[in-house]
Amino acid sequence: MSARVIDGKDAARASNARVAAALAELKSTHGLVPGLTVVLVGDNPASKVYVANKKREARAAGFNSTAHRLPATASQAEVLATVGRLNADKSVHGILVQLPLPRQMDAQAVIAALDPAKDVDGFHAVNTGLLWGAGGGLVPCTPQGCMLLLRRATDKIAGSHAVVLGRSSIVGKPLAALLLGADCTVTVAHSKTRDLPAVCRQADILIAAVGRPEMVRGGWVKPGAVVIDVGINRKADGKLVGDVAFAEAAEVAGAITPVPGGVGPMTIACLLRNTLIAACRQAGLPAPAL
């Protein structure tokens, strides 16, 4: 293996420590304790684990953190009413509605009902518009985490050709906007792209976010490239793997994120960053440098 492994756990710890310090300062200077509420509808087992992790880490950093649970049978109106109450609650600065929502629910309508200033996932159309336009909104957590890892891995982001594999609204599209904002030449590739391996081989920065276990092979990677693997897939034997065949890619890449321990820990770290930023903005205070 020749690639340097980019340590997401260490990056997340460092970010969480900066957030906790800024939070302590906010508390002592302004008496402000930022609040994060996670809304969980139904009992998707993976979502329950994610929500418990978010709550635990937010509390550890010093946030006021609560989870609001509704049954799988809850109506759209009940979820919208919950969001409305949280929008109006001055002690809640960040609201996250855990996805996926039960089938009968219109997730887009629920996201649209969020106060954009409290939308710490950065999924509301106002935040999407700001991301592609003037900036200054809340930035989706996983793409934000990818950029922080990228900055750790290389100081040659500007001018690089970045290939984003995947075009989801949660990762691929917002990541394309962030990479463009960082002066990359950006290609968004997807399941209909012709000759994916050849497109990926052009990438100085290759980001895989397709949800297909070990799809990106060593031969798809340009020698020396930085590879960021957003995928978390469980194989039949229970092993967690990314969208990149790690051992093969690590032979060719200059730097690569592992799974687990790469992008995963950065998602919650960025959720905490967003909640702190949202709380400062709502209180009319400048956001601390993180």
Cα maximum dimension of the chain: 56
Least distance from ligand GUN to the Cβ atom of residue 99, Å: 4
The three state secondary structure string of 135-151 is CCCCCCHHHHHHHHHHH
* Residue tagged active-site, from 54, 118, 173, 222: 54
* Separation between Cα atoms, residue 79 and residue 83, nearest integer Å: 6
Q: Choose between 99 and 182: whose C-beta lies nearer to ligand GUN.
A: 99
* Residue tagged active-site, from 55, 118, 119, 121: 121
Q: Is 98 a catalytic residue?
A: yes
Q: Choose between 98 and 127: whose C-beta lies nearer to ligand GUN.
A: 98
Q: How far is CA 22 from CA 26, 29, 109, 121, 286, in A?
A: 6, 10, 34, 20, 12
Show the tokens assigned to 238. Answer: 């229970």
Least distance from ligand GUN to the Cβ atom of residue 50, Å: 6
Place of tokens 């969001």: 83
Least distance from ligand GUN to the Cβ atom of residue 271, Å: 8
Would you give the end-to-end CA distance of the chain in angstroms? 33
Instruction: Specify the amino acid at residue 265.
Output: P
Q: Choose between 250 and 277: whose C-beta lies nearer to ligand GUN.
A: 277
Q: Choose between 170 and 186: whose C-beta lies nearer to ligand GUN.
A: 170
Least distance from ligand GUN to the Cβ atom of residue 225, Å: 26
Q: Choose between 176 and 249: whose C-beta lies nearer to ligand GUN.
A: 176
Place of tokens 């081989």: 201
Q: Is 121 a catalytic residue?
A: yes
Residue showing the smallest CB distance to ligand GUN in the complex: 99
Q: Which residues of the shown chain bind ligand GUN in the complex (CB under 6 A)?
A: 96-99, 121, 141-142, 170
Q: Is 9 a catalytic residue?
A: no
Please answer whether residues 175 and 143 qualify as being in contact, where contact means their C-beta atoms are separated by less than 8 angstroms: yes
Least distance from ligand GUN to the Cβ atom of residue 37, Å: 12
Please answer whether residues 114 and 98 qualify as being in contact, where contact means their C-beta atoms are separated by less than 8 angstroms: no
* Separation between Cα atoms, residue 165 and residue 173, nearest integer Å: 10
Name the residues annotated as catalytic. 54, 98, 121
